[in-house]
Amino acid sequence: MGYRVVVVGATGNVGKEMLNILAEREFPVDEITALASRKSLGTEVSFGDKTLKTKDLDTFDFTGWDIALFAIGSDATKIYAPKAASQGCVVIDNSSLYRYDPQIPLIVPEVNADEVVHYKNKNIIANPNCSTAQMVVALKPLHDRARIKRVVVATYQSVSGTGKEAIDELWNQTKGIYVPGQEVAPSVYPKQIAFNVIPHIDVFLDSGDTKEEWKMVVETKKILDPKIKVTATCVRVPVFVGHSEAINIEFEDYLDWEEATDILREAPGVLVIDKREAGGYITPIDCVGEYATYVSRIRQDETVENGLNIWVVSDNLRKGAALNAVQIAEVLGQRCLKKG
């Protein structure tokens, strides 16, 4: 006996990946349905070797369905997630809407899978921000060994984190630079993204941080440890898929880079690629379509007493969104619902 699963926002980048990963990982599905807004009604999407036609989210009855994977914006989630939850369907939400609610678990299964039991509070589980998810997967095993005091992270985030319109803008601007008369002015981003980097993701806060930077701070504390100090600079780069992060870590106890490497090699969800030679490291283009959180450039930081530097890369549409949501569903099924 398997699960009746709903994918909400099935025509978007993340929704499509959710369907792909459910099929790839052979999640125990008895029945699956794809929901979208009325403007996408009837659009065909793939689930393994099957083709699904999207149904209307607005009129859908979630009664009798076990799990709903939400991949729509916060505004729509605010309307439909409580409806699904109240009808007995467990919502796993990829938006930021519920991440900071103390009654709703915020889960990265490699880090805090035990929190899944708290889904019963509101029948909702939150999926973290893409940049946070890959970072905490790498930090968790190191924190267990040497206790992290402080993290300084700079991100290099791909345009697919914004959505399809951003992918199109990067593609069209890049072409436009080489074809006279086809130049494309910025519309998704405040400045040109082609051949540029933009130190601005989400809105600016009074502190001078952007909301993306604030998310990384707050979510790391909720998922990993509230005592860890985090400061982030989040940057959009002209890459289609794959987020990268340069992370500086300060520990309470000494941890040398060789032991850190051994720990990371054994850590769930982590793949170390670190040869200390030309090409012996991971880049975003290498991670596309993969499940792992990759770690390279592991080295001592001699400017602080107990410091390390690492380079972390992952497919933001997978571990940063769809994969993590499906992994949450797997843990939920194995530990709580127990149908598959």
- 221 marked as binding residue: no
- 276 marked as binding residue: no
Contact 274, 257 (CB under 8 A): no
Q: How far apart are CA 328 and CA 38, in angstroms?
A: 28
- 157 marked as binding residue: yes
- 11 marked as binding residue: yes
Q: How far is CA 143 from CA 22, 105, 310, in A?
A: 31, 20, 14
- 244 marked as binding residue: no
Query: How is 226-283 classified by DSSP, letter by letter?
Result: TT-EEEEEEEE-S-SS-EEEEEEEEESS---HHHHHHHHHHSTTEEE---SSTT-S--
- 40 marked as binding residue: yes
- 314 marked as binding residue: no
Tokens matching residue 309: 């530097």
- 176 marked as binding residue: no
Write the Ramachandran bin of 77: left for phi over 0, alpha for psi from -120 to 50, otherwise beta.
alpha
Active site residues: 130, 243
- 86 marked as binding residue: no
Q: How far is CA 251 from CA 58, 165, 248, in A?
A: 49, 40, 10
- 236 marked as binding residue: yes
- 324 marked as binding residue: no
Tokens matching residue 61: 């009855």
Q: How remote is the C-alpha of 175 from its chain's centroid?
A: 29
- 326 marked as binding residue: no
The DSSP letter of residue 12 is: S
Q: How far apart are CA 318 and CA 289, in angstroms?
A: 7
SS3 97: coil
Angle at CA of residue 31, ends 90 and 34, nearest 5°: 75
Q: Residues annotated in the binding site for substrate, as ranges?
A: 157, 236
Q: Residues annotated in the binding site for phosphate, as ranges?
A: 99
Q: Residues annotated in the binding site, as ranges?
A: 11-14, 39-40, 99, 157, 160-161, 236, 316
Q: Residues annotated in the binding site for NADP(+), as ranges?
A: 11-14, 39-40, 160-161, 316
